[in-house]
A and B are shown apart, each in its own frame.
Chain A
Amino acid sequence: MHPLRRRRLAFLIAVLTALGLATGLILVALEENLQHFYSPTDVESGKAPSDRRFRLGGVVAEGSLARAPEGLGVRFAVTDRFRTIEVHYQGILPDLFREGQSVIAVGRLEGERFRADQVLAKHDENYVPKEVAEAIARARQLKEAEDATP
Protein backbone atom coordinates (compact mmCIF):
# COMPACT_ATOMS: atom_id res chain seq x y z
CA MET A 1 0.00 0.00 0.00
CA HIS A 2 1.15 3.51 -0.75
CA PRO A 3 2.64 5.10 2.42
CA LEU A 4 0.29 8.09 2.20
CA ARG A 5 -2.75 5.80 2.05
CA ARG A 6 -1.39 3.66 4.86
CA ARG A 7 -1.05 6.77 7.00
CA ARG A 8 -4.61 7.86 6.17
CA LEU A 9 -5.95 4.40 7.00
CA ALA A 10 -4.04 4.26 10.30
CA PHE A 11 -5.35 7.71 11.17
CA LEU A 12 -8.95 6.68 10.39
CA ILE A 13 -8.65 3.52 12.49
CA ALA A 14 -7.22 5.55 15.41
CA VAL A 15 -10.03 8.12 15.16
CA LEU A 16 -12.71 5.40 14.96
CA THR A 17 -11.27 3.58 17.99
CA ALA A 18 -11.16 6.81 20.01
CA LEU A 19 -14.71 7.65 18.97
CA GLY A 20 -15.95 4.18 19.90
CA LEU A 21 -14.23 4.34 23.30
CA ALA A 22 -15.65 7.80 24.02
CA THR A 23 -19.15 6.68 23.13
CA GLY A 24 -18.78 3.55 25.24
CA LEU A 25 -17.73 5.61 28.26
CA ILE A 26 -20.60 8.07 27.78
CA LEU A 27 -23.10 5.19 27.57
CA VAL A 28 -21.71 3.60 30.74
CA ALA A 29 -21.99 6.98 32.48
CA LEU A 30 -25.58 7.43 31.28
CA GLU A 31 -26.58 3.83 32.15
CA GLU A 32 -29.25 4.85 34.67
CA ASN A 33 -30.85 7.48 32.44
CA LEU A 34 -31.13 5.17 29.45
CA GLN A 35 -33.26 2.66 31.33
CA HIS A 36 -36.80 3.00 30.06
CA PHE A 37 -38.49 1.67 33.20
CA TYR A 38 -37.92 0.66 36.82
CA SER A 39 -38.72 -2.82 38.13
CA PRO A 40 -40.68 -3.34 41.37
CA THR A 41 -37.35 -4.31 43.03
CA ASP A 42 -35.87 -0.95 41.94
CA VAL A 43 -38.89 0.81 43.44
CA GLU A 44 -38.67 -1.05 46.77
CA SER A 45 -34.97 -0.30 47.05
CA GLY A 46 -35.66 3.40 46.50
CA LYS A 47 -34.05 3.76 43.07
CA ALA A 48 -37.24 5.12 41.51
CA PRO A 49 -38.14 8.78 42.10
CA SER A 50 -40.84 9.29 44.71
CA ASP A 51 -41.72 12.88 43.82
CA ARG A 52 -42.26 12.66 40.04
CA ARG A 53 -43.64 10.43 37.29
CA PHE A 54 -41.69 7.37 36.21
CA ARG A 55 -42.30 4.11 34.35
CA LEU A 56 -42.86 0.88 36.21
CA GLY A 57 -42.21 -2.30 34.24
CA GLY A 58 -42.96 -5.95 35.01
CA VAL A 59 -45.40 -8.80 34.57
CA VAL A 60 -49.09 -8.59 35.54
CA ALA A 61 -49.32 -11.08 38.43
CA GLU A 62 -51.67 -14.04 37.80
CA GLY A 63 -55.03 -13.61 39.50
CA SER A 64 -54.39 -10.01 40.52
CA LEU A 65 -56.56 -8.21 37.96
CA ALA A 66 -59.71 -6.68 39.46
CA ARG A 67 -62.08 -4.34 37.66
CA ALA A 68 -64.21 -1.75 39.41
CA PRO A 69 -67.92 -2.69 39.34
CA GLU A 70 -68.63 0.55 37.46
CA GLY A 71 -66.45 2.62 35.16
CA LEU A 72 -63.02 1.92 33.72
CA GLY A 73 -61.08 1.57 36.96
CA VAL A 74 -58.78 -1.43 37.27
CA ARG A 75 -56.40 -2.70 39.87
CA PHE A 76 -53.61 -5.18 39.25
CA ALA A 77 -50.23 -6.17 40.64
CA VAL A 78 -46.98 -5.77 38.71
CA THR A 79 -44.24 -8.20 39.69
CA ASP A 80 -40.69 -9.04 38.72
CA ARG A 81 -40.95 -12.36 40.64
CA PHE A 82 -39.14 -10.89 43.65
CA ARG A 83 -41.25 -7.87 44.56
CA THR A 84 -44.82 -6.89 43.70
CA ILE A 85 -46.43 -3.47 43.51
CA GLU A 86 -50.14 -2.73 43.31
CA VAL A 87 -51.16 -0.51 40.41
CA HIS A 88 -54.36 1.55 40.11
CA TYR A 89 -55.42 2.71 36.70
CA GLN A 90 -58.41 4.48 35.19
CA GLY A 91 -58.76 4.08 31.43
CA ILE A 92 -58.67 1.77 28.44
CA LEU A 93 -56.12 -1.03 28.53
CA PRO A 94 -54.22 -2.09 25.36
CA ASP A 95 -55.42 -5.23 23.53
CA LEU A 96 -52.43 -7.26 24.63
CA PHE A 97 -53.02 -6.54 28.30
CA ARG A 98 -53.66 -9.74 30.27
CA GLU A 99 -52.40 -11.57 33.32
CA GLY A 100 -48.91 -12.96 32.74
CA GLN A 101 -48.19 -10.25 30.12
CA SER A 102 -45.33 -7.78 30.45
CA VAL A 103 -46.54 -4.20 30.86
CA ILE A 104 -45.16 -0.74 31.44
CA ALA A 105 -47.23 1.58 33.62
CA VAL A 106 -46.54 5.32 33.60
CA GLY A 107 -47.46 7.25 36.72
CA ARG A 108 -46.30 8.05 40.23
CA LEU A 109 -46.11 6.44 43.63
CA GLU A 110 -48.81 7.19 46.17
CA GLY A 111 -47.49 5.64 49.33
CA GLU A 112 -47.19 1.94 48.66
CA ARG A 113 -49.41 1.98 45.57
CA PHE A 114 -48.62 3.10 42.06
CA ARG A 115 -51.20 5.32 40.35
CA ALA A 116 -50.82 4.93 36.58
CA ASP A 117 -52.12 7.38 33.99
CA GLN A 118 -50.98 5.23 31.06
CA VAL A 119 -50.52 1.47 30.68
CA LEU A 120 -48.54 0.01 27.75
CA ALA A 121 -48.26 -3.68 26.89
CA LYS A 122 -44.79 -4.99 26.14
CA HIS A 123 -44.55 -7.57 23.40
CA ASP A 124 -41.99 -10.38 23.67
CA GLU A 125 -39.82 -11.73 20.85
CA ASN A 126 -42.04 -14.77 20.18
CA TYR A 127 -44.20 -14.92 17.08
CA VAL A 128 -46.59 -17.89 16.98
CA PRO A 129 -49.50 -18.55 14.56
CA LYS A 130 -52.92 -18.60 16.23
CA GLU A 131 -53.60 -22.22 15.24
CA VAL A 132 -50.27 -23.38 16.65
CA ALA A 133 -50.86 -21.53 19.93
CA GLU A 134 -54.33 -23.10 20.19
CA ALA A 135 -52.92 -26.57 19.46
CA ILE A 136 -50.30 -26.11 22.18
CA ALA A 137 -52.98 -24.99 24.64
CA ARG A 138 -55.18 -28.00 23.73
CA ALA A 139 -52.27 -30.42 24.16
CA ARG A 140 -51.50 -28.90 27.55
CA GLN A 141 -55.13 -29.25 28.68
CA LEU A 142 -55.17 -32.88 27.50
CA LYS A 143 -51.96 -33.58 29.38
CA GLU A 144 -53.36 -31.99 32.55
CA ALA A 145 -56.58 -34.03 32.23
CA GLU A 146 -54.53 -37.22 31.83
CA ASP A 147 -52.39 -36.37 34.82
CA ALA A 148 -55.52 -35.68 36.89
CA THR A 149 -57.17 -39.06 36.14
CA PRO A 150 -55.36 -41.88 37.93
Chain B
Amino acid sequence: MKHWLASFHRLASPPIFFRLAGRIMPWSLALAILSGGIGLVWGLVYAPADYLQGESVRILYIHVPAAWMSLAIWAFMAFAAIAALVWRTKVAETLAMAAAPIGACFTAITLLTGSLWGRPTWGTYWVWDARLTSELILLFLYLGVIGLYRTIEDPRRAARAASVLILVGLVNLPIIRYSVEWWSTLHQPASIRLSGSSIHPQMLWPLLVMALATKFYFLWAVLARARMMLAENESNKQWVRDLWREGRL
Protein backbone atom coordinates (compact mmCIF):
# COMPACT_ATOMS: atom_id res chain seq x y z
CA MET B 1 0.00 0.00 0.00
CA LYS B 2 2.75 2.43 0.98
CA HIS B 3 4.73 1.55 -2.10
CA TRP B 4 1.68 1.95 -4.36
CA LEU B 5 0.84 5.30 -2.82
CA ALA B 6 4.42 6.48 -3.21
CA SER B 7 4.44 5.66 -6.92
CA PHE B 8 1.11 7.48 -7.27
CA HIS B 9 2.65 10.54 -5.67
CA ARG B 10 5.63 10.36 -8.00
CA LEU B 11 3.20 10.49 -10.94
CA ALA B 12 2.22 13.96 -9.79
CA SER B 13 5.72 15.12 -10.68
CA PRO B 14 5.60 16.67 -14.18
CA PRO B 15 8.92 15.20 -15.49
CA ILE B 16 8.01 11.67 -14.36
CA PHE B 17 4.52 11.97 -15.85
CA PHE B 18 6.03 13.36 -19.05
CA ARG B 19 8.35 10.38 -19.43
CA LEU B 20 5.74 7.73 -18.52
CA ALA B 21 3.13 9.27 -20.85
CA GLY B 22 5.68 9.26 -23.64
CA ARG B 23 6.17 5.55 -23.12
CA ILE B 24 2.42 4.70 -23.08
CA MET B 25 1.49 6.86 -26.09
CA PRO B 26 2.85 4.74 -28.99
CA TRP B 27 1.16 1.62 -27.59
CA SER B 28 -2.23 3.25 -27.15
CA LEU B 29 -2.03 4.83 -30.60
CA ALA B 30 -1.14 1.48 -32.20
CA LEU B 31 -3.99 -0.27 -30.38
CA ALA B 32 -6.42 2.54 -31.32
CA ILE B 33 -5.52 2.30 -35.03
CA LEU B 34 -5.68 -1.52 -34.96
CA SER B 35 -9.00 -1.83 -33.13
CA GLY B 36 -10.45 1.21 -34.92
CA GLY B 37 -9.56 -0.25 -38.32
CA ILE B 38 -11.04 -3.64 -37.46
CA GLY B 39 -14.15 -2.10 -35.88
CA LEU B 40 -14.85 0.30 -38.76
CA VAL B 41 -14.48 -2.32 -41.51
CA TRP B 42 -16.46 -4.85 -39.48
CA GLY B 43 -19.25 -2.41 -38.64
CA LEU B 44 -19.48 -0.51 -41.92
CA VAL B 45 -18.93 -3.42 -44.33
CA TYR B 46 -19.40 -6.87 -42.80
CA ALA B 47 -22.04 -6.37 -40.09
CA PRO B 48 -25.59 -7.16 -41.24
CA ALA B 49 -28.24 -4.54 -42.02
CA ASP B 50 -31.03 -4.11 -39.48
CA TYR B 51 -34.51 -5.54 -40.25
CA LEU B 52 -36.20 -2.17 -39.67
CA GLN B 53 -33.52 0.51 -40.08
CA GLY B 54 -31.72 -1.13 -43.02
CA GLU B 55 -28.23 0.19 -43.77
CA SER B 56 -28.58 3.31 -41.63
CA VAL B 57 -28.01 1.10 -38.57
CA ARG B 58 -24.29 1.38 -39.39
CA ILE B 59 -24.26 4.90 -37.92
CA LEU B 60 -24.59 3.07 -34.59
CA TYR B 61 -20.95 1.97 -34.76
CA ILE B 62 -19.84 5.62 -34.62
CA HIS B 63 -22.68 7.18 -32.67
CA VAL B 64 -22.81 4.86 -29.65
CA PRO B 65 -19.05 4.68 -28.90
CA ALA B 66 -18.82 8.47 -29.31
CA ALA B 67 -21.79 8.94 -26.94
CA TRP B 68 -20.19 6.66 -24.36
CA MET B 69 -16.94 8.62 -24.63
CA SER B 70 -18.74 11.97 -24.26
CA LEU B 71 -19.91 10.79 -20.82
CA ALA B 72 -16.76 8.84 -19.86
CA ILE B 73 -14.45 11.78 -20.60
CA TRP B 74 -16.51 14.10 -18.38
CA ALA B 75 -16.27 11.51 -15.58
CA PHE B 76 -12.50 11.30 -16.15
CA MET B 77 -12.29 15.11 -16.01
CA ALA B 78 -14.29 15.11 -12.76
CA PHE B 79 -11.78 12.74 -11.11
CA ALA B 80 -8.91 14.91 -12.31
CA ALA B 81 -10.76 18.04 -11.15
CA ILE B 82 -11.19 16.65 -7.61
CA ALA B 83 -7.46 15.81 -7.52
CA ALA B 84 -6.69 19.28 -8.87
CA LEU B 85 -8.83 21.05 -6.28
CA VAL B 86 -7.82 18.95 -3.27
CA TRP B 87 -4.15 18.16 -3.95
CA ARG B 88 -3.42 21.07 -6.31
CA THR B 89 -1.14 18.97 -8.48
CA LYS B 90 -0.18 20.37 -11.87
CA VAL B 91 -0.54 16.98 -13.58
CA ALA B 92 -4.16 16.60 -12.45
CA GLU B 93 -5.00 20.16 -13.54
CA THR B 94 -3.37 19.60 -16.91
CA LEU B 95 -5.08 16.22 -17.49
CA ALA B 96 -8.53 17.71 -16.77
CA MET B 97 -7.94 20.61 -19.15
CA ALA B 98 -6.31 18.45 -21.83
CA ALA B 99 -9.35 16.13 -21.95
CA ALA B 100 -11.98 18.86 -22.50
CA PRO B 101 -11.54 19.49 -26.27
CA ILE B 102 -11.45 15.72 -26.93
CA GLY B 103 -14.69 15.30 -25.01
CA ALA B 104 -16.25 18.22 -26.87
CA CYS B 105 -15.35 16.56 -30.20
CA PHE B 106 -16.91 13.24 -29.16
CA THR B 107 -20.06 15.08 -28.01
CA ALA B 108 -20.29 16.94 -31.33
CA ILE B 109 -19.84 13.66 -33.23
CA THR B 110 -22.59 12.08 -31.10
CA LEU B 111 -25.04 14.91 -31.87
CA LEU B 112 -24.16 14.99 -35.57
CA THR B 113 -24.35 11.25 -36.24
CA GLY B 114 -27.48 10.96 -34.11
CA SER B 115 -29.10 13.68 -36.16
CA LEU B 116 -28.16 11.94 -39.42
CA TRP B 117 -29.61 8.67 -38.07
CA GLY B 118 -32.76 10.37 -36.80
CA ARG B 119 -33.74 11.73 -40.23
CA PRO B 120 -34.36 8.34 -41.94
CA THR B 121 -35.39 6.49 -38.78
CA TRP B 122 -37.57 8.90 -36.83
CA GLY B 123 -38.40 11.26 -39.65
CA THR B 124 -36.65 14.30 -38.15
CA TYR B 125 -33.13 15.61 -37.56
CA TRP B 126 -33.84 16.99 -34.13
CA VAL B 127 -36.44 16.97 -31.35
CA TRP B 128 -36.25 18.67 -27.98
CA ASP B 129 -36.64 15.54 -25.91
CA ALA B 130 -34.80 14.99 -22.62
CA ARG B 131 -32.00 12.82 -24.05
CA LEU B 132 -31.10 15.04 -27.00
CA THR B 133 -31.38 18.24 -25.00
CA SER B 134 -29.24 17.01 -22.10
CA GLU B 135 -26.54 15.84 -24.54
CA LEU B 136 -26.60 19.29 -26.19
CA ILE B 137 -26.17 20.85 -22.74
CA LEU B 138 -23.13 18.57 -22.25
CA LEU B 139 -21.59 20.08 -25.41
CA PHE B 140 -22.16 23.60 -24.02
CA LEU B 141 -20.61 22.54 -20.70
CA TYR B 142 -17.51 21.27 -22.53
CA LEU B 143 -17.29 24.55 -24.44
CA GLY B 144 -17.75 26.40 -21.14
CA VAL B 145 -14.81 24.56 -19.55
CA ILE B 146 -12.59 25.26 -22.58
CA GLY B 147 -13.66 28.91 -22.68
CA LEU B 148 -13.21 29.48 -18.95
CA TYR B 149 -9.73 27.94 -19.05
CA ARG B 150 -8.72 30.17 -21.94
CA THR B 151 -10.14 33.34 -20.38
CA ILE B 152 -8.06 33.34 -17.17
CA GLU B 153 -4.44 34.14 -17.85
CA ASP B 154 -2.67 32.21 -15.09
CA PRO B 155 -3.01 28.56 -16.22
CA ARG B 156 -3.11 27.20 -12.67
CA ARG B 157 -5.87 29.52 -11.49
CA ALA B 158 -7.68 28.93 -14.78
CA ALA B 159 -7.54 25.17 -14.32
CA ARG B 160 -8.94 25.42 -10.78
CA ALA B 161 -11.80 27.66 -11.89
CA ALA B 162 -12.63 25.32 -14.77
CA SER B 163 -12.41 22.34 -12.38
CA VAL B 164 -15.27 23.82 -10.35
CA LEU B 165 -17.36 24.03 -13.52
CA ILE B 166 -16.50 20.39 -14.30
CA LEU B 167 -17.82 19.31 -10.89
CA VAL B 168 -20.98 21.39 -11.34
CA GLY B 169 -21.53 19.78 -14.76
CA LEU B 170 -21.21 16.35 -13.18
CA VAL B 171 -24.93 16.45 -12.29
CA ASN B 172 -25.70 16.31 -16.01
CA LEU B 173 -24.20 12.80 -16.42
CA PRO B 174 -26.92 10.82 -14.57
CA ILE B 175 -29.54 13.02 -16.28
CA ILE B 176 -28.23 12.03 -19.73
CA ARG B 177 -27.84 8.38 -18.75
CA TYR B 178 -31.30 7.94 -17.19
CA SER B 179 -33.26 10.51 -19.26
CA VAL B 180 -34.66 7.70 -21.44
CA GLU B 181 -35.96 5.86 -18.37
CA TRP B 182 -37.23 8.73 -16.21
CA TRP B 183 -39.18 10.51 -18.93
CA SER B 184 -40.92 9.64 -22.16
CA THR B 185 -38.47 10.51 -24.93
CA LEU B 186 -38.25 9.98 -28.66
CA HIS B 187 -34.81 8.45 -28.12
CA GLN B 188 -34.99 4.72 -27.37
CA PRO B 189 -33.83 3.31 -24.01
CA ALA B 190 -30.38 1.73 -23.59
CA SER B 191 -29.83 -1.51 -25.52
CA ILE B 192 -26.87 -2.68 -23.46
CA ARG B 193 -27.44 -3.19 -19.75
CA LEU B 194 -25.85 -5.23 -17.00
CA SER B 195 -28.59 -7.82 -17.50
CA GLY B 196 -27.72 -8.30 -21.18
CA SER B 197 -28.05 -6.71 -24.57
CA SER B 198 -30.91 -6.38 -27.03
CA ILE B 199 -28.46 -5.96 -29.90
CA HIS B 200 -27.86 -9.11 -31.93
CA PRO B 201 -24.29 -10.51 -31.34
CA GLN B 202 -23.43 -10.00 -35.04
CA MET B 203 -23.92 -6.27 -34.46
CA LEU B 204 -22.79 -6.12 -30.84
CA TRP B 205 -19.20 -7.30 -31.41
CA PRO B 206 -18.12 -4.63 -33.90
CA LEU B 207 -19.75 -2.07 -31.59
CA LEU B 208 -17.66 -3.26 -28.64
CA VAL B 209 -14.47 -3.22 -30.75
CA MET B 210 -15.24 0.38 -31.72
CA ALA B 211 -15.85 1.24 -28.06
CA LEU B 212 -12.40 -0.14 -27.25
CA ALA B 213 -10.83 1.82 -30.12
CA THR B 214 -12.26 5.13 -28.86
CA LYS B 215 -10.87 4.40 -25.36
CA PHE B 216 -7.34 3.85 -26.72
CA TYR B 217 -7.65 6.91 -28.93
CA PHE B 218 -8.66 9.01 -25.95
CA LEU B 219 -5.74 7.68 -23.88
CA TRP B 220 -3.31 8.62 -26.64
CA ALA B 221 -4.86 12.01 -27.33
CA VAL B 222 -5.16 13.10 -23.69
CA LEU B 223 -1.56 12.09 -22.90
CA ALA B 224 -0.22 13.82 -26.00
CA ARG B 225 -2.09 17.04 -25.17
CA ALA B 226 -1.24 16.92 -21.45
CA ARG B 227 2.49 16.44 -22.20
CA MET B 228 2.64 19.46 -24.48
CA MET B 229 0.58 21.61 -22.09
CA LEU B 230 2.86 20.65 -19.18
CA ALA B 231 6.02 21.43 -21.16
CA GLU B 232 4.55 24.77 -22.23
CA ASN B 233 3.45 25.81 -18.73
CA GLU B 234 6.76 24.67 -17.23
CA SER B 235 8.96 25.99 -20.02
CA ASN B 236 11.13 27.95 -17.57
CA LYS B 237 11.86 24.84 -15.45
CA GLN B 238 15.10 22.92 -15.61
CA TRP B 239 13.57 19.57 -16.68
CA VAL B 240 11.96 21.13 -19.75
CA ARG B 241 15.23 22.90 -20.66
CA ASP B 242 17.10 19.61 -20.30
CA LEU B 243 14.64 17.84 -22.58
CA TRP B 244 14.91 20.68 -25.09
CA ARG B 245 18.70 20.55 -25.07
CA GLU B 246 18.65 16.77 -25.57
CA GLY B 247 16.29 17.27 -28.52
CA ARG B 248 13.55 15.12 -26.95
CA LEU B 249 10.84 17.76 -27.04
Contact = CB atoms under 8 A, between A and B. Distances in A.
Nearest to B124: A120
Given A23-B171, A94-B121, A123-B122, A129 B186 contact: no
A9 B86 contact: yes
A127 interface: yes
Nearest to B48: A129
Contacts of B171: 19-20, 23
A134 B50 CA distance: 11
Contacts of A120: 122-124, 127, 186
A20 B170 CA distance: 9
Interface in B36-59: 48-54, 57
B52 A123 contact: yes
Nearest to A137: B51
Interface string B9-50: 000000000000000000000000000000000000000111
B164 to A, nearest CB: 9
Contact of A134 (B51, B170, B184): B51
B87 A5 contact: yes
Nearest to A7: B86
B51 A130 contact: yes
Interface stretch (B150-158, B187-195, B233-241): B187-195
Interface string A8-25: 110010011001100100
B7 interface: no
Interface of B: 48-54, 57, 60, 82, 85-87, 120-124, 127-130, 167-168, 170-171, 175, 182-186, 188-191, 198-200, 202-203
Given A16-B170, A36-B127, A121-B122, 15 more contacts: A5-B87, A9-B86, A19-B170, A37-B186, A94-B122, A96-B52, A96-B121, A97-B123, A118-B123, A119-B123, A125-B198, A127-B191, A127-B200, A128-B52, A130-B51
Interface of A: 5, 8-9, 12, 15-16, 19-20, 23, 27, 31, 34-37, 39, 57, 93-97, 104, 118-134
